[in-house]
A and B are shown apart, each in its own frame.
Chain A
Amino acid sequence: MGGILVFGELGPDGLQSITAELLAAARSLNESSGDEVAVALLGSGADAVSQEAISLGADKVYSVQDPLLEDVQIEAQLAGIEAVCAQAQPSVVLVGRTHLGRDIGPRLAFRLGVGVAQDCLEVAVDSGTGRLIATRPVYGGNALARFTFPGDGAQIVVLRPKAVEPLVADSSRTGEVVAVQPALDPSIVRARLVETVRQESEGVRLEDAPVVIGGGRGIGGAEAFEMLEELARVMGGAVGATRAVCDAGWIDHSYQVGLTGKTITPDIYITVGISGASQHMAGCSASKNIVAINRDADANIFKAATYGVVGDWKNVLPSFLETVRELINS
């Protein structure tokens, strides 16, 4: 009994990067606790990636097979991971804060009657008690909080994507594959996903862009995005925006960067008229360099920036854009 269980996620392109990150987090817990690292892989894609999961840190793979798991219905996935928990009785369950995991983690916790720490950046073992200490941002990222799990129930931690580096795959690692057949009743799927509508984004995907140009309330209106788009085009990057700007309708919500929007990790993030509220910074603080153009010298963004210009973007940005264009063309 006991052990660490990772909720694995499979996509059309195989094992998802979040699963590799969770396996790395699980292995580092294992160094303190010695607990076995298992991963649950749900659906018929499991067998093709079991060895990959083992090479990334799993000691055991629960391959969960049921016709209901063939398309991603949250309640079926939930019943699948519940079945693995009933068999494995883990002391720790790691879930990624993905579109699926953000619902799976808390709902599993309530089904098991145990605690869950959401959106964690870090998880460690308390050497005194052997229980977990989970660290997560709170108050929109203004503060960090550490939590422990009273009692002796399973501890569920939902980890933020890109919080942990995956391990380098080691093909010499060995592990066991255990088949689980939960025989799910189709009536458990009450809320049914019937369609997915994706907006095609032009150019570079915001999440993958090496350069992001971000606009905030300080740019004054929708028209200002034209110059930001132009700069992004010249630099081979993408445009992002704060939630306030999206809510105001200046630009579509698919451009939103922040706690409840996209998380970006570019080499350079050029912010224009962005004050740097913690809710926005939560989505961009992993940028390698932040450049701030803002009128207010006291704006929070200058505390996070590497380079800054204090001034009106309408005066600063045109000459910046022209110089960038010349430098790139020369």
Chain B
Amino acid sequence: MGIKIIVCVKQVMDPETPASAFKVDPDSNKVTPAQGIPPVVNGFDENAVEAALRLKDNGDVDKITVISVGNNFVMDVMKKPLSMGADELILVQDDSVSDLDAFATATALAKTIEHVGEYDLILCGRQASDWDQAHVAMGVAELLNLPCISLAQKLDVAGGGITVQRSLTDGYEVVETKLPAVVTVTNELGEPRYPNLRGIMQASRKTPTILSPADLSLDADALAPKLALTELFIPVSDQKVEIIEGEDEADAGRKLALRLREEKLI
């Protein structure tokens, strides 16, 4: 008997979007999607999918269900976890859940998890690369009254419990808890696998389950924001760079050292 895992993922703007294509619309306080650059599954969420698949590779897992809350899902993008090897995809899709704050997002995800019903482990990415808040997963844990371990770089499941290496900047902590639990996954876990052809074929035959907020009894009250965005802007820098030139690149390197000496930086 293996465990049942739910992985929470988010569709985000590609964080590799070049700075020159990153635009903010000051009237709506929204980031303008860059032309021709499709969204992606949040990178840390792919790490979470990878963590689930590694446990599955070990024979510890019965089923991996991927869930997401949002709107305007690009199906080819959202199916990536399926093509990596996850079993099922559930999308809560509606205009009313497209622009939630973290508190409401956690509420919607917790309701979705309760709707799925059977789970032993909930995995999330450590943070989303758009709002960088790193608190939706903790909210899910608190709302479902589950233990929560953040920043996992390694996970081991045994005997109804989980042991996690929690990443530190100079090492790691070993944290243990009983299942069910919520764990957030960091990139130190290692690169997510690339979908292979068989995975892509299997994913193409799967149809995501689409739910509406009403299916989860989520009303406007439950989704009321606790945080209001009042301003979004691109900071301007008045930094001017002094480009050091030379007869050739090696000479430029020499001159750079001399210039830094002049400024007493060496």
Contacts and interface: CB of A to CB of B under 8 A. Distances in A.
A and B bind: yes
Given A138-B232, A151-B226, A192-B176, A107 B138 contact: yes
A324 B167 CA distance: 36
Interface residues of B, number: 82
Interface string A288-318: 0101110000001011111111111001111
A278 interface: yes
Given A139-B31, A191-B181, A309-B256, A110 B147 contact: no
Which secondary structure characterizes the binding site on chain B?
mixed
Contacts of B232: 138, 143-146
B239 A306 contact: yes
B194 interface: no
B6 interface: no
Contacts of A300: 19
A308 B177 contact: no
Contacts of A312: 249
Contacts of A195: 173-174
A25 to B, nearest CB: 18
Contact of B19 (A109, A151, A278, A289): A278
Contacts of B187: 243, 247, 260
A247 B231 contact: no
B145 to A, nearest CB: 10
A243 B260 CA distance: 27
B13 A139 contact: yes
B265 A289 contact: yes
Contact of B257 (A116, A259, A323): A323
Interface in B168-201: 168-178, 181, 186-188, 191
Contacts of A6: none
A127 interface: no
Contacts of B103: 109-110, 115
A10 interface: no
A322 to B, nearest CB: 8
B112 interface: no
B234 A103 contact: no
Given A145-B229, A151-B226, A254-B170, A110 B129 contact: no
Given A149-B226, A194-B175, A197-B172, A138 B130 contact: yes
B174 A190 contact: no
Given A191-B177, A268-B260, A278-B19, A316 B250 contact: yes
A102 B169 CA distance: 14
B142 interface: yes
Nearest to A97: B134
Highest count of chain B CB atoms <10 Å: which of A106, A148, A153, A328? A106
B43 to A, nearest CB: 9
B11 interface: no
Given A144-B233, A307-B260, A308-B242, A279 B15 contact: yes
3 closest Cβ pairs, A-B complex: A115-B226, A106-B135, A315-B249
Given A109-B226, A139-B131, A321-B253, 16 more contacts: A106-B135, A110-B142, A119-B134, A140-B132, A144-B234, A146-B229, A150-B228, A197-B173, A235-B266, A254-B170, A260-B186, A293-B253, A311-B253, A316-B252, A323-B253, A327-B257
10 contacts: A109-B226, A110-B106, A138-B232, A145-B232, A147-B229, A190-B181, A191-B148, A191-B149, A309-B256, A310-B243
